[in-house]
Structure 1
Amino acid sequence: MTNLSIFITFIFVLPFLCHSFSPENPTDRRILVLLDDFAFKSSHSIFFNSLQTRGFELDFKLADDPKITLQRYGQYLYDALILFSPTAERFGGSLDLAAVVDFVDSGHDLILAADSSASDLIRNIAAECGIDFDEDPSAMVIDHTSYAITEIEGDHTLIASDDFIQSDAILGSTKIEAPVLFKGIGHSLNAANSLVLKVLSASPSAYSANSNSKLSNPPSLTGSAISLVSVIQARNNARIMISGSLDMFSNRLFKSAVQKSGSSNKFEKSGNEQFVTEVSKWVFHERGHLKAVNVRHHKVGEADEPAIYRINDDLEYSVEIYEWSGTSWEPYLANDVQVQFYMMSPYVLKTLSTNQKGLYHTSFKVPDIYGVFQFKVEYQRLGYTSLSLSNQIPVRPFRHNEYERFLTAAFPYYGASFSTMAGFFIFSFVYLYNK
């Protein structure tokens, strides 16, 4: 092999070596951003800059770019997808509805923003995620009570909402004080999909309709049933954020002052930037991402994991759980992690104790039932990735030489046996020697 061929081989292999030895990191790093217009790069630059500041690599493309592709040679080129292209009737390249769904099904994340001009393609992607936008393409969310006060009296389609989900995992521990400005379309959650959560809801006085025409029929979406921003965590822990407003991410609304109708509090800056930043941290696994390591079980007083347990053995079970903080793995603190000793149904259900350093542990006695059992940890908590741990172990009965020589419970039977023998001896003696 010549020096030139060795050099070329090294150049091609080096990226794979670097990737193989890179530190474990759950955070998505390469993000494909599809836009209707490159002008969005400047009009929404604060949001994009915040992602880049946090270490993400953004690849901007027009939605109809013929060179768009999510994967090559069976490997995905991107870790997440941002769709800021509400008017796109079809995507360029090999990207289509099925490709987006497969992308999420493979465990990758998605942010989708729509508006009143949302195309059928965007609506269908949302429908696949359990989100149903208002069927009326000209409808917008209107609120005559919780609208944002502006210098120009409008049609009350610019609303100020502060009905947030109560979850520190999704919105962070810092409370969002200012309302979020929203101008766009509302959506409802598919009742058959239990994975969808409303993150930002409309007020009870809101409704969805065409602001330029009179209502001839009652609106299909009203009140708190209208979701403005929703999130989904799939069963494979892929995360999705769907917003009915693309303007919500814009620099203009990020910097706008806000005063909610009926409130005397006026904020110099809306809560949009904080809200969008915190939710995007959750979507891209910078918060609420758990991992479980060092799952162990053994008999009390021993260190090695046995291949089989015996009924009534005393055993110990432990697991370490950590949460990704955005930069490092930190011990996860909770008091609701449980383990099941399971065969067809749980025979033992124990809440694990923690040492506040990530280690969860407990001890219990193996049931007096033999068969094939499982240690199962099924942990699901709002805003956190789900943990599903399973470890199969057989349980055997006592061997014939492992029982106690004399059982306390059998003493009455022992007494009956010996008394029968003694009675027979006395009867025989009396019968033989009595004249």
Structure 2
Amino acid sequence: MATRCHVLLLLAAAFASLLALVAAEGGEEGPRGRRLLVLLDDLAVRSSHSAFFGSLQARGFDLDFRLADDPKLSLHRYGQYLYDGLVLFAPSTPRFGGSVDQNAVLEFIDAGHDMILAADSSASDLIRGIATECGVDFDEDPEAMVIDHMNYAVTDVEGDHTLIAGDDLIHSDVILGSEKIEAPVLFRGIGHMANPSNSLVLKVLSASPSAYSANPKTKLASPPSLTGSAISLVSVMQARNNARVLLSGSLDLFSNRFLKSGVQKADSKTRYERAGNEQFVAEISKWVFHERGHLKAVNVRHHKVGETNEPGMYRINDDLEYSVEIYEWSGTSWKPYVADDVQLQFFMMSPYVLKTMSTDNKGLYSTTFKVPDVYGVFQFKVEYQRLGYTGLSFTKQIPVRPYRHNEYERFITSAYPYYTASFSTMGAFFVFSFVYLYHK
């Protein structure tokens, strides 16, 4: 009986291994998980924004819809995070339910997870506080909205020009995709300004020079605090741990109504059957959730030229070769990353060697150089930062020793002046002695 059970266990283990092998061959593991927590003010948002949520689900994301004030709300359990990303569509919520608060959301980002935050004119202090910690400041006036009397969207009813047709987009194929967004993006909401001291924030959709932020229901009593192209409508932030955050001043930007409606700018005769919102939110969400622009480095190697084994140390003036493979996630698989600006530093207190590595266009980057004539503890260091891509930073420490006493040449070329001085001194002493002793 025990033998039969043992055989069955072996067969079960073999079957499980076979299933794992088939699964591994059928697809590759991406850089991020697929579990998203969606927090809403009202479950009606799930219906009014169903097209955006449907696009996420069509790309394989598992969405967990919860009310923002759910008393059972939690981001982690037993020290493990339950979700890989957060979609915060609850602009007016004064506080979250359960164990979630502002610090919990920020810790979620600090742990390397991603977030989409959409606000509007009803944005609470909680939402504004999270945005401020992520590097942007929404207009302090709670009644203010972005107004543009020149670049508004034409409608059947003359309004207050808060429905903006924005087309000042960031020029980055990594963030917005390689296909250009032709139609303007509809926006109605509040503006914000990126903190000038935060270099991690990028404006993705900016207001036009004629825009300003004010209460549309009252006359201006003083100059608006936010004006012109300084107003950001949609911004992104990539933290130093490569966590990505999208900050939008409009919840309507993601709504079915904006995704499906046509658009025409006030200063243009061209009318588009579909606004650019659908393409815009799809492409920007791909970037936020690391479906594009995520790099990884593997197979970091170094060795002497002509050898293959990695030594424990190098000698001064050795010729060595360094190589690394870099791949980019395309959304479905890892593809070779091709660029001409990946650099290697051979570093001790400061770079002694800085070289741009060559690539074989198949993901392999390599370079050769001579070890400096300085001994000590060096580092191979690669720090790669490029707009829209996750940063690569990795180092490896290696000692460099001087020549041993039996490794020097019999006569060192650089010491020839000293050799000449020594022999000339001995010759001069011999001549002086001979003259002194035998000259009368």
- TM bin (shorter chain): over 0.9
1:107 aligns with 2:112: yes
Structure 1 residue 27 displacement after superposition:
2.9
Look up the match of 1:413.
418
Look up the match of 1:206.
211
Look up the match of 1:62.
67
CA contact (8 A) 1:27 1:326 kept: no
* Matched ranges for 1:13-28 at <5 A: 24-28=29-33
Structure 1 residue 38 displacement after superposition:
1.1
Q: 3-state DSSP class of the match of 1:224?
A: helix
* Matched ranges for 1:84-99 at <5 A: 84-99=89-104
Look up the match of 1:236.
241
Structure 1 residue 427 displacement after superposition:
4.6
Structure 1 residue 423 displacement after superposition:
4.1
Rounded to whole Å, the distance in 1 between the matches of 2:189 and 2:434 is 107
1:195 aligns with 2:200: yes
Structure 1 residue 420 displacement after superposition:
3.4
| Aligned alpha-carbon RMSD (Å) | 2.1
Rounded to whole Å, the distance in 2 between the matches of 1:354 and 1:241 is 33
Higher mean C-alpha deviation, range 225-234 or range 417-426:
417-426
1:250 aligns with 2:255: yes
Counterpart amino acid of 1:317?
Y
Counterpart amino acid of 2:122?
S
Rounded to whole Å, the distance in 1 between the matches of 2:417 and 2:206 is 72
1:332 aligns with 2:333: no
Look up the match of 1:46.
51
CA contact (8 A) 1:28 1:285 kept: no
Does the C-alpha gap of structure 1 residues 428 and 216 become closer, same or farther in structure 2, counting only changes over 3 Å? closer
Counterpart amino acid of 2:320?
L
Structure 1 residue 422 displacement after superposition:
3.6
Match of 2:220 among 215, 231, 235: 215
Counterpart amino acid of 2:325?
E
Rounded to whole Å, the distance in 2 between the matches of 1:24 and 1:174 is 26
Structure 1 residue 395 displacement after superposition:
0.9
Q: How many residues align?
A: 424
Counterpart amino acid of 2:348?
M
* Matched ranges for 1:4-403 at <5 A: 24-403=29-408
1:350-408 CA-to-partner distances (Å, cap 9, x unmatched) read 00100000000001111111111111111011100000010111111111111111122
Q: 3-state DSSP class of the match of 2:181?
A: coil
Q: 3-state DSSP class of the match of 2:104?
A: helix
Structure 1 residue 328 displacement after superposition:
0.4
1:307-359 CA-to-partner distances (Å, cap 9, x unmatched) read 11111111111110000001100000111110101111111100010000000
Counterpart amino acid of 2:35?
R
Structure 1 residue 265 displacement after superposition:
1.4
Q: 3-state DSSP class of the match of 1:287?
A: coil
Counterpart amino acid of 1:405?
R
Structure 1 residue 24 displacement after superposition:
3.1
Counterpart amino acid of 2:188?
K
Counterpart amino acid of 2:33?
D
TM-score normalized by structure 2? 0.93
Rounded to whole Å, the distance in 1 between the matches of 2:418 and 2:124 is 84
Rounded to whole Å, the distance in 2 between the matches of 1:418 and 1:378 is 53
TM-score normalized by structure 1? 0.94
Rounded to whole Å, the distance in 1 between the matches of 2:408 and 2:267 is 79
CA contact (8 A) 1:199 1:231 kept: yes
Rounded to whole Å, the distance in 2 between the matches of 1:346 and 1:256 is 55
Identity %: 75
Structure 1 residue 429 displacement after superposition:
4.8
Higher mean C-alpha deviation, range 24-33 or range 150-159:
24-33
Structure 1 residue 431 displacement after superposition:
5.2
Rounded to whole Å, the distance in 2 between the matches of 1:357 and 1:86 is 45
Counterpart amino acid of 2:289?
F
Rounded to whole Å, the distance in 2 between the matches of 1:430 and 1:39 is 115
1:101-128 CA-to-partner distances (Å, cap 9, x unmatched) read 1100000000000111111111111111
In structure 2, runs of 5+ residues without a counterpart are none
Structure 1 residue 41 displacement after superposition:
1.3
